[in-house]
Structure 1
């Protein structure tokens, strides 16, 4: 809230070991790199939500949770670095109204509202409504986008022990979107405002709709059952040209595409939570089952005879080019999982967490032009987790854990060899502490994650279609996070991460190559001070420092992304439901690369100096 973040990626910049994994076309659809490994999309209220193409607006978010390390024991197929979980705003039992307006440079404007309260006298039926509209120009030439969000939620208390929540969320992102930027052979970046495609007819229209329900029932003080069902529909239509290579440092080779696709994601879950004792030992148990159905339809046409774009003297006024035949396909997957977890308290200061999950996944692909369907081999996997916490005092916790994750593999050799899922295995130790009478918390962790069963070429077969599962990548790191109130009115969030993420086995890439866009060193500090007394009560100031070290620009490690230090600042005033603020991002206009999509022409540029003023009323 103090930083006035405009995306989930901005929100998690204060968390150690989490860096930008690239957004999709400048929209609020985001990948994250956590502990060296990329995770596409995020989770919502603890269940599977959007992938790399699904939109997530910040107006509906109450808080963001980062779960580090392999999380398959609860969430199924996920990459081993961790997950981002979005916890949404819920209806309130007392009337609440908030109106806000924001404006900034590059023609940024955003009105928004947040209303909540009871719909009946006994307050068993509650609602919440979030809505906003955003328009802005980009820092690149020709870029202009609009973002619309509309999200109603209803909570219904069906009885003393049963609650039902229904929700719907609509997010639309459209306009001429931000392009990648490129680096030429002497590692010089193209100008920040340079649009490295042809803007004529370039557009994106991406809509994500989410709806579903959550119901919970308490059998007693110790036992409850929960059930949720969600549907996420994402439809995207876009046309663009894209730079796919630098020619003699003089021009950019272009790729043109007109495509549209839909993604339907259905997720259902039921679980039982209970507490009981066996003698002097207490248990908190979780038993559950979930299913996930994922359907993607994809159609596209490829442009031909697209001229290269001159770097020094770009001519964007070109004749229309032709598109080839349209291809179309449908991918489907179904996943089922059962899981069991028990948190065992042997003593008040000694706890053991043990759990496991088993998944079955089937998938197929249909060529919609020929009607031919290919059935992929069935994947199954068991994912264990075990952790131990010892508290030598009320303010100190020592812990250690072991966990695994998996991601199914759909590829198979021409000879029909069935591939195992890729595996993630993590060992972690750490210490957590509370200081200053609980006002300040700190966590120090050390970990090693190994991702195995990665596909790579078979060196004993000249056919490039033959693959073997001998690839391996490893990430080792140390992370420190400190957050809390140092003195009355003075708050801070500080983090540091050392991450060594590298290739350890591969037939294509040299052993020792660093993983793309993973900095060895990353640090952040966000601190605010707000006057607590006198006539200045409610006046606050904020300062942020965000450092990201050098990173590999591509898998071959042929170039590096330079390190950068970005400075943010804020000033705000809060009093009796009124708030006004000014937030500055990139105060000193640092030119930097946020992340790479694995190539010299696929770099995401950081935005220049950005200032946004906001004013709101809560009543």
Structure 2
């Protein structure tokens, strides 16, 4: 894929070196994402990439002023220097951003600030910034609203000039500013130099994410650890699930492998994450990858997120950013074939619906059929994700998005294996990884989906109103009472696995409405970015199950399945649950100085849960209020380094009563975190975080009445995390992380104090790196290599079983040329046998995937 050719003309005058950048956003200047290059196609600065250099200056040039003047075409931004010293400029592009780095300059404005910013100068430009990025480099960023700006350069005597042209005049030839006569020969003055920009992207490094503040804030300015797994990483790894993607984030550990399309479960910083998921910043009740073909990137906010999103665990939250409609036509088809009869096909279509490009669409569809490495554990999945983006006016945008997913699988949950015969010795031998405790069962049908909108209205360049609504449903049908089978225990002969059957269905409906006001203002020399809003949600759950139906056991070494059961037809659990929540939140991002930023936030939630027990015809009601504060500070001693510290709390409703009839209080989480974020280069960033997390109000057995619980339990996790991502050298990318996690029970009436928390290894490490050959006959060829290590970890809170550590190796080889891409990915290259814990059970484990091969071919047009 290629960026448009950007023409640049340079004129040299005797008194100053000036560049005029004419930014045009028009139909003939749009950048199609289908033409964004892979790194192997990028011409870097050292070769034929965009590089403007006069005779290098021995000293740093001071930019003394920045002026923004309106013109009949749009906006003209001038960078003034004291004596018109010679400057050195390089350029690159990332998404819709045109970026120019002046490598021998320093911005020193009369106000003392080190940044100039012009927000929304016209409808086609989101923002223009001029800022110091280190002691001798100034960066100029022109952010296009919906497309990458086109750039032309001219010499002028005024300084470094940016001429930004509105869409109405973008198609017209740019007017060259008049150049004063100088004593240089005319040939030197007028001879143009054509410069071609092939561009480059921050493929493995994403500098911004909205998940940490719900605003467009650079990650380096947020006092909390946030890791992003971008699209290029997901593509290079050919990620098929959430688990594949989150393996690239430190401190995130899988609980179950998510076989046959079941839900993925994780621990983050030692605490289990089950429902802490977001889609485009909107909370959802179930962490599911049912529509993973629509995921653009994954954002992991580590630590409490209640101050922004309401109830949730304190380990972290995962935000799924979906693929959005594009202004330029883009079409892609891909096909994948893998081990164990794994077949997948996807189509991705997007572009404008009208000539003015005020209506954009995107349609993504994917189908997958796989048998998996476990006997009888197979599934088919169909995903459809349409979306529509409408520009209702110059200041109002509306995005309507939805997806529907239909999945048929062999039972509701993946089969588990007994620990004896897998991670523990068995006198009868080892159990095959492919053994299924469930056996053949009738396919279970699940239909899930979501539909909603996001509306934004900009009152002016400083204030905007945002409103979003989403409805999500999840229907797990029992297909007329077909049983599912779960293992319970291993008999004394160490080969007979006892089983129980379960019949039932579950239906979830989730409604969420959020409205907030975002504004920027100053109080004296202090800058504020204020966020104020409220959210309303309703979550309904309809459960009908008959548990514990007697079923025939199975021999784990010579399985013969008897699937006959005799259900009573009367469920022993039938409930309808409704939870309503109102949240009101306030956040202020305060810039005390250019290098000192303060974050203050608070949220109060009012929730009520009503449960109807249809077996007893009894309705119970419980309500409570929770306040979640957040305080953080960021200090940047030099531009590339951010030192931060933060305090935050979370809450999770705890439903139930004590022996005295008192309703349980919400479970609380408290985090203290300090860290360092550093831009090692303009393309390589790292985060080092130290944290201390405490989970309180944990229910534990009442010592005076074992049939009830009390909220005296407490758990603590403290640790260190290191993440790094970006480009090391041209064509060489990396995303890696290390986590040390000391997660233990600190108070409990039943579990021994000091026990390690469930599925939380003390040491874990991940590394994925790729290299793309940049030129020559092999240009377009690339290689990938990954290492994943998870240390010993407890299979349950009682610490009755310790799962052994494992070290897994992945690899990839791919070829990319223009719109064509072919890739072969190898997982578990050396066929390491490993197991993960499963739903807290210390007697059952879940097998990890053996050696698999996956081949993919895709074409963009």
Shorter-chain TM-score tier: over 0.9
Q: Does 1:245 align with 2:489?
A: yes
Give the CA deviation at 1:203. Answer: 2.9
Give the CA deviation at 1:324. Answer: 4.3
SS in 2 for 1:153: strand
Give distance in 1, aligned partners of 2:628 and 2:590. 19
SS in 2 for 1:611: strand
What does residue 207 of structure 1 align with?
447
What does residue 197 of structure 2 align with?
none
What does residue 151 of structure 1 align with?
385
Give the CA deviation at 1:58. Answer: 1.7
Compared CA separation, residues 318 and 68, structure 1 to 2 (3 A): closer
Tell me if structure 1 keeps the 8 A contact 2:241–2:289: no
Identify which of 675, 681, 684 aligns with 1:430. 675
Deviation by residue 1:68-95 (Cα, 9 ceiling, x = unmatched)? 0011000100100110000110000000
Tell me if structure 2 keeps the 8 A contact 1:302–1:323: no
Give distance in 1, aligned partners of 2:442 and 2:760. 31
Tell me if structure 2 keeps the 8 A contact 1:197–1:309: no
Deviation by residue 1:160-196 (Cα, 9 ceiling, x = unmatched)? 0001111110112212153122211881363201111
Q: Does 1:446 align with 2:690?
A: yes
SS in 1 for 2:798: coil
Structure 1 residue ranges without an equivalent (≥5) = none
Q: How many residues align?
A: 613
Compared CA separation, residues 417 and 303, structure 1 to 2 (3 A): closer
Tell me if structure 1 keeps the 8 A contact 2:499–2:550: no
What does residue 595 of structure 2 align with?
349
Identify which of 40, 43, 46 aligns with 2:278. 43
Give distance in 2, aligned partners of 1:429 and 1:101. 45
Deviation by residue 1:461-515 (Cα, 9 ceiling, x = unmatched)? 2x32332111000000000011111111111111100001100000010000001
What does residue 160 of structure 1 align with?
394
Q: How does 1:123-142 map to 2 (within 5 A)?
A: 123-142=357-376
Give the CA deviation at 1:51. Answer: 1.1
Give distance in 2, aligned partners of 1:319 and 1:597. 26
Identify which of 293, 302, 313 aligns with 1:59. 293
Identify which of 19, 34, 38 aligns with 2:253. 19
What does residue 465 of structure 1 align with?
707
Q: Does 1:339 align with 2:574?
A: no
Tell me if structure 1 keeps the 8 A contact 2:260–2:372: no
Q: Which has the higher strand share?
A: 1
What does residue 457 of structure 2 align with?
217
What does residue 182 of structure 1 align with?
418
Moved more, 130-139 or 594-603: 594-603
Deviation by residue 1:23-82 (Cα, 9 ceiling, x = unmatched)? 666325222211111111411011112415x45322101110000001100010010011
Identify which of 196, 208, 211 aligns with 2:437. 196
What does residue 499 of structure 1 align with?
741
What does residue 227 of structure 1 align with?
467
Tell me if structure 2 keeps the 8 A contact 1:116–1:127: yes
Identify which of 58, 80, 103 aligns with 2:337. 103
Give the CA deviation at 1:318. Answer: 4.8
Give distance in 2, aligned partners of 1:230 and 1:23. 29
SS in 2 for 1:11: helix
SS in 2 for 1:187: coil
Tell me if structure 1 keeps the 8 A contact 2:770–2:784: yes
What does residue 567 of structure 2 align with?
322
SS in 1 for 2:637: strand
**What TM-score results when the alignment is normalised by the length of structure 1?**
0.97
What does residue 569 of structure 1 align with?
811
Tell me if structure 2 keeps the 8 A contact 1:217–1:226: yes
Give the CA deviation at 1:399. Answer: 0.4
Give distance in 2, aligned partners of 1:422 and 1:175. 35
What does residue 605 of structure 1 align with?
847
Aligned Cα root-mean-square deviation (Å): 1.5
Give the CA deviation at 1:303. Answer: 5.4
Give distance in 1, aligned partners of 2:372 and 2:236. 24
Give the CA deviation at 1:237. Answer: 2.2
Select the structure of larger CA radius of gyration: 2
Tell me if structure 2 keeps the 8 A contact 1:502–1:513: yes
Compared CA separation, residues 261 and 319, structure 1 to 2 (3 A): closer
What does residue 552 of structure 1 align with?
794
**What TM-score results when the alignment is normalised by the length of structure 2?**
0.70
SS in 1 for 2:334: strand
Give distance in 2, aligned partners of 1:263 and 1:23. 23
Moved more, 114-123 or 464-473: 464-473
Moved more, 20-29 or 497-506: 20-29
Give distance in 1, aligned partners of 2:548 and 2:710. 34
Give distance in 2, aligned partners of 1:574 and 1:304. 54
Compared CA separation, residues 255 and 305, structure 1 to 2 (3 A): closer
Give distance in 2, aligned partners of 1:61 and 1:287. 28
Give the CA deviation at 1:142. Answer: 1.5
Tell me if structure 1 keeps the 8 A contact 2:431–2:557: no
Structure 2 residue ranges without an equivalent (≥5) = 1-234
Give distance in 1, aligned partners of 2:666 and 2:564. 47
TM superposition outliers: structure 1 runs of 4+ over 3 Å? 23-26, 302-305, 317-324
Give the CA deviation at 1:394. Answer: 0.7
Moved more, 315-324 or 248-257: 315-324
Identify which of 355, 358, 372 aligns with 2:604. 358
Give distance in 1, aligned partners of 2:852 and 2:439. 26
SS in 2 for 1:220: coil
Identify which of 396, 415, 426 aligns with 2:660. 415
Give the CA deviation at 1:315. Answer: 1.4
SS in 2 for 1:393: coil
What does residue 66 of structure 2 align with?
none
Give distance in 1, aligned partners of 2:842 and 2:556. 14
Give the CA deviation at 1:607. Answer: 0.8
Tell me if structure 2 keeps the 8 A contact 1:7–1:57: no
Give distance in 1, aligned partners of 2:564 and 2:299. 49
Give distance in 2, aligned partners of 1:617 and 1:309. 48
